[in-house]
Amino acid sequence: MYKQIKSIVTGKEENTFFPLKSFLYIASICYGGAVRLRASLFDRRIFKSEKLPCKVISIGNLTVGGTGKTPMTIYVAEMVQHLGYRPAVVSRGYKGRYEKKGGIVSDGRDILLKAEDSGDEAFMMARKLKHIPVLVGRNRFRSGMQAINRFRANVILLDDGFQHLQLKRDIDLILLDDARPLGNGQLLPRGMLREPVYAMKRASAFIFTRCGDENSGMPPMPRRPLFRSFHVPYVAEIVRANAGRSSAPGNCSSNPDFTFLRGRKALVFSGIAKNDEFYRMLEGLGCCPARFAGFPDHHWYSSEDVKFLLAEIQKTDAELLITTDKDYARIAGKFSWPVDLWVIGIKISLKDQTDAFAAFIEKRLADICPRNG
């Protein structure tokens, strides 16, 4: 049943049971009605949106999962810091223990919460962002005020904030997957859209992610600044066999062809929104996995999962393990492996649009938020 639903939602259904498609379509009509009602209540100010006393940048999307919000949030946070502002990142902390009550994941120097407390994405951002605080909490206004009062932040970045209408934003960046910007064009649960397409009018700019060398067809969309970004893989960390010690070997610029993967038997595992994308990326880098194990997004690995992976290492004679940095956030320091574990991260590149994007953000920030304010 799950595979059938997934094939329908992603628009890849073949000979799918017709009543199931009909049920999901009816459910999407109900969902769409609820989303429109909610947006209308905010538009009419029946539901109130709170305003932070600083600039707020939201990085979000229109579809569910896998557009690269977290690496883009890291990219924008570092860029804002480079422009001379004091940014802080506020995330919901999805599936973390502190999601409801809120908490400080990092003060910009030390990591203060475990991944189980903060959620995997917030923990990963805290590990990567230097001198930039990361906070979590369902109440983004409260977390934002905490960042302002505790760290004197003058720019708040909302990770996955486009649908969070409870907080006013000054810049709304919408990420769209270059291959399928709007999924199959249907609302949840019949498709991948979180909101109707007309919600794009709230955007300040659009960023297409995972772009190829050629421009893909773009759907009709409001006239806004448009940028194309690229996911650049790099080796984020290497956890040595049996020791648990790790090292950061630098980024992919020192080994752009990932030649270390070629001819090596690798057991690859991941639990992200688009496991197949990770697998294809590794194939493109010259890796031919002896076995690929896919888990659900945000999957917290149990001892049973690890036993399964250890058994697969023996079965396949794998020479190394490969996973994503988001997955590693959930297992860091918890398990020992009989072979080296290579952690692959993603960096954002805008190539020849880097300066134009920075200028766009700088202008929007400078209109209201002075650097030293």
Q: What's the rounded mean pLDDT across residues 136-148?
A: 98
Six-digit token pair at 231?
Answer: 């996911």
166 occurs within a structural domain: yes
Three-state DSSP state, 235 = strand
CATH classification of the domain holding 250: 3.40.50
- Please report the pLDDT score of residue 96 as a whole number: 96
DSSP at 215: P
122 occurs within a structural domain: no
- Please report the pLDDT score of residue 4 as a whole number: 60
In one letter, which amino acid is 256?
A: P
Q: Which residue has the tokens 């996955």?
A: 160
Q: Which residue has the tokens 């896998």?
A: 66
Reported as a pLDDT band with limits 50, 70 and 90, residue 8 is: low
Q: According to DSSP H, which parts of 89-212 are helical?
A: 115-118, 120-128, 140-151
What phi and psi values does residue 72 have, to the nearest 5 degrees?
-70, -35
Q: Give me the domain span that covers residue 205.
A: 55-86+154-229+350-366
Least confident of 150-154, 203-207, 215-219, 324-328: 215-219
The proportion of the chain whose per-residue pLDDT surpasses 70, expressed as a percent, equals 88
Give dist(CA 93, CA 77) in Å, integer. Answer: 17
Domain check: are 168 and 239 in the same one? no
- Please report the pLDDT score of residue 254 as a whole number: 44
Least confident of 156-165, 232-241, 246-255: 246-255
CB contact at 8 A, 192 and 273: no
95 occurs within a structural domain: no
Reported as a pLDDT band with limits 50, 70 and 90, residue 252 is: very low
Domain check: are 316 and 297 in the same one? yes
Average pLDDT of the chain? 90
Question: Tens of pLDDT along 219-243?
Answer: 778 899 999 999 999 999 999 998 6
256 occurs within a structural domain: yes
Q: What's the rounded mean pLDDT across residues 270-282?
A: 93
Task: Identify which has the larger pLDDT, 1 or 140.
Answer: 140
pLDDT at 16 over 70: no
Q: What's the rounded mean pLDDT across residues 83-108?
A: 97
Least confident of 18-27, 30-39, 118-127, 364-373: 364-373
- Please report the pLDDT score of residue 66 as a whole number: 84
- Please report the pLDDT score of residue 253 as a whole number: 43
Domain check: are 81 and 169 in the same one? yes
Domain check: are 251 and 327 in the same one? yes
Domain check: are 64 and 187 in the same one? yes
Q: Model-level pTM?
A: 0.92
Q: How many domains does the chain have?
A: 2
Q: According to DSSP H, which parts of 111-200 are helical?
A: 115-118, 120-128, 140-151
CB contact at 8 A, 106 and 86: no
Task: Identify which has the larger pLDDT, 238 or 135.
Answer: 135
75-107: burial string, b at 16+ Cβ within 10 Å, e else? bbbbbbbeeebbbbbbbbbbbbebbeebbbbbb
- Please report the pLDDT score of residue 286 as a whole number: 84
Task: Identify which has the larger pLDDT, 250 or 369.
Answer: 369
Domain check: are 183 and 205 in the same one? yes
Domain check: are 223 and 271 in the same one? no
Reported as a pLDDT band with limits 50, 70 and 90, residue 257 is: low
- Please report the pLDDT score of residue 369 as a whole number: 55
What phi and psi values does residue 208 have, to the nearest 5 degrees?
-80, 135
137 occurs within a structural domain: no
Domain check: are 223 and 248 in the same one? no
Domain check: are 167 and 193 in the same one? yes
Domain check: are 205 and 249 in the same one? no
Question: Tens of pLDDT along 333-373?
Answer: 899 999 999 999 999 999 999 999 999 999 999 875 555 55
Q: What stretches of the chain adopt beta strand conformation (E)?
A: 55-61, 87-91, 103-106, 134-136, 155-159, 171-177, 205-209, 226-228, 230-239, 246-247, 266-270, 291-294, 320-324, 340-349
Domain check: are 70 and 177 in the same one? yes
183 occurs within a structural domain: yes
Reported as a pLDDT band with limits 50, 70 and 90, residue 17 is: low
HSE of 236 in the Cβ direction (CA atoms, 13 Å)?
Answer: 21
29 occurs within a structural domain: no
Give dist(CA 59, CA 89) in Å, integer. Answer: 11
Reported as a pLDDT band with limits 50, 70 and 90, residue 203 is: very high
357 occurs within a structural domain: yes
CB contact at 8 A, 102 and 146: yes
- Please report the pLDDT score of residue 112 as a whole number: 98
Those residues whose C-beta lies under 8 Å from the C-beta of residue 36, and which sit 6 or more positions away, are 196
Measured CA to CA in angstroms, residue 289 lies from 210, 283, 294 at distances of: 22, 8, 12
Reported as a pLDDT band with limits 50, 70 and 90, residue 46 is: very high
Domain check: are 337 and 244 in the same one? yes
